[in-house]
Structure 1
Amino acid sequence: MAAIFNSPSKYIQGPDELAKLGSYVEPLGAKALVIVTPSGKKRVGAKIEGGFVEAKAELLFEDFNGECSKGEVDRLVALARDNGCDIIVGVGGGKILDTAKAVAYYLESPVIICPTIASTDAPCSALSVLYTDDGQFDKYLFLKANPNIVLMDTMVIAASPVRLTVSGMGDALATYFEAQATHDADGGTCAGGKGGMAGLALAKLCYETLMADGVKAKVALEKGALTPAVEHIIEANTLLSGIGFESSGLAAAHAIHNGLTMLPECHGMYHGEKVAFGTIVQLVLE
């Protein structure tokens, strides 16, 4: 089995980058379907629209129904086709981003992923996690390619609830332990091959960054500050963890998370919080 390394075509991170979204859409498509929640549009809609004033591309906002399910993906595919949208943009959290990737997959169109939180490692991957309409894990949808662009507006992310970024640290915490377990077992990865040195090195850097900057970032976010530690943690939660898990492998931590989604008592817990618990269980198993 060959070693395979996956990554998005372009990763962009910095303050107010959402204001430039129009310029990033323009080379890829003429009309963007922007999938976002009503509350998300209230937060960043004006910033996005402002970035399209000078762009040749158009945009169409559409509300996300709340669950990354087959029914929601099918609805948005039909909507994009009916309105002549040739590029998909997901703005929000993990389920919106996975939905946008799945819609683009079925349309065979480019996709730009714009997280407004740093709570999971989903944005960079060629993978969508589908759930049933009532929130239970359904299946993994493996995509043909990683996103064309992942765009991180760190001003927006720093203003999100601190618990979400800390949850992202919980998701990222599993990356190195799952990668090392997969490596030790000579196992396969979500990229369709074995993990190589580059993916494992990024997974280890993810862990080291969490240990060096995680607490500092949490303190800064509680004070509303965008510091170098916050920038580092956003990158660790998103890029390092995203490439690390996809190119180096998953193990017990995420499998345990998937089981926990079946329990109504766990529905109030965030993805990363369940994965962090799964990491502890994996370490006990080892």
Structure 2
Amino acid sequence: MTQIICSPTKYIQGHGEIQKLGEYCLQLGAKSAFAIIDPYIFSMYKKDILHSFEINDIPLIMREFKGECSRNQVDEIVLELGRKDVEVVLGIGGGKTLDTAKAASYMSDLPVVIVPTVASTDAPCSALSVLYTDEGDFDCYLPLKRNPDMVIADINIITKAPARLLVAGMGDALSTFYEARACRQSGAVTHAGGTSTIAAFSLARACLDTLLAEGESALIDVKQGITSSAVEHIVEANIYLSGVGFESGGLAAAHAIHNGLTLHEGCRNVLHGEKVAFATIVQLVLENTSDDEIAQIIDFCKKIGLPVTLKELGIISSEIDKLMVVAEASCSQDSPMKNMPFEVQSLDVLKAILATDKRGQ
């Protein structure tokens, strides 16, 4: 089987990077730019963004992101891009803003620069956009031809976001190594289009090691407004190590169970990474991993405030019928559960969820 690893052409992380966006677009050879910007970022950093393009003599069109990352919105932006002289698209903000920029650049065949302003998921580096309906319901996954041309993480902005978002990013990143390990054992084909490489698996391992070594310290520092090396390392782990690790290392039970949990009404206010963290422990239970390894991950989650029980997810453990819906959805035909190195039935998932809840308590 062919081995494949994919990643952004360039990943940049530092302090004050928002003020260098024009310079980075110039490096791509772009002479004009179109930026889709999160409303909060637009209100706070509009002048900084505009100035960075003015000093590099690059005309910039700014569009404030409103509504949903929907087909209609993307199509509208593509039409606008077609009427303008644009050579690069930027997405500056959270997940839906970034996915809109990626989708619009893909459909317009333009390079894209992604500027995440939170470190809550590992999506910024991926060649994938998640589309929703105009009402906010999930529509589909849109595979893209390539990963972003640049991903630029400004630590100064990311660390001003609520600490819960950084913790959720750690929850999403927590699954990366364990899912990559399962895919490596099963020989699964990853999102990159082939089996995992040594490099991808090494990044997944580095992601876990960084979380366990520095995650708690980074959270303490962020709460105190300190941008320490621990914070910088966790931002890199959440965005880049996990981003390349999941896409080229593979997804397995943890994200399959997460997808099932999205159907449970109790989880409606629970963030993506928070659900993934609990589902990671469920995967370890399914794998019959050692007690020490499971205890280590539960302890880590407790220390940084990630859910380890159903109650913390907003679920009543006695609602077996609703949990069975979660378990069945996690084993659906197109679910990444198929990447596990052994066959998993919905009843196995249900038992593992209940066992995880018991251990978490």
Normalising to structure 1: TM-score of the pair?
Answer: 0.95
Answer with 270-279 or 96-105: which moved more: 270-279
Measured in 2, the distance between the counterparts of 1:252 and 1:106 equals 32
Measured in 2, the distance between the counterparts of 1:192 and 1:119 equals 25
Q: Hey, what does 2:9 align to over in structure 1?
A: 9
Q: Hey, what does 2:314 align to over in structure 1?
A: none
Answer with 197-206 or 26-35: which moved more: 26-35
Measured in 2, the distance between the counterparts of 1:136 and 1:277 equals 23
Q: What are the residue-to-residue correspondences of 1:53-68 with 2, within 5 Å?
A: 53-68=54-69
Q: Hey, what does 2:110 align to over in structure 1?
A: 109
CA contact (8 A) 2:114 2:152 kept: yes
- TM-fit CA distance, 1:165: 0.7
Measured in 1, the distance between the counterparts of 2:149 and 2:99 equals 14
Measured in 2, the distance between the counterparts of 1:253 and 1:136 equals 22
Answer with 93-102 or 206-215: which moved more: 93-102
Answer with 84-93 or 144-153: which moved more: 84-93
- CA deviation string 1:129-155 (max 9, x = no partner): 223333333322211111111101111
Measured in 2, the distance between the counterparts of 1:251 and 1:189 equals 10
Q: Hey, what does 2:256 align to over in structure 1?
A: 255
Aligned residue type for 1:243: V
- CA deviation string 1:229-264 (max 9, x = no partner): 000000000110001001110112222223333445
Q: Hey, what does 2:82 align to over in structure 1?
A: 81
CA contact (8 A) 2:127 2:145 kept: yes
Normalising to structure 2: TM-score of the pair?
Answer: 0.76
- TM-fit CA distance, 1:97: 1.1
Higher relative contact order (Cα pairs below 8 Å, separated by 6+ residues):
1
CA contact (8 A) 2:113 2:151 kept: yes
Question: What stretches of structure 2 of length at least 5 have no aligned partner?
Answer: 288-361
SS in 1 for 2:181: helix
CA contact (8 A) 2:125 2:147 kept: yes
Measured in 2, the distance between the counterparts of 1:201 and 1:89 equals 30
Measured in 1, the distance between the counterparts of 2:263 and 2:81 equals 32
Q: What are the residue-to-residue correspondences of 1:34-183 with 2, within 5 Å?
A: 34-183=35-184
CA contact (8 A) 2:38 2:94 kept: no
Q: Percent identity?
A: 51
Aligned residue type for 1:21: L
Q: CA RMSD in A?
A: 1.5
Question: What stretches of structure 1 of length at least 5 have no aligned partner?
Answer: none
Answer with 22-31 or 260-269: which moved more: 260-269
Aligned residue type for 1:20: K
- TM-fit CA distance, 1:4: 0.2
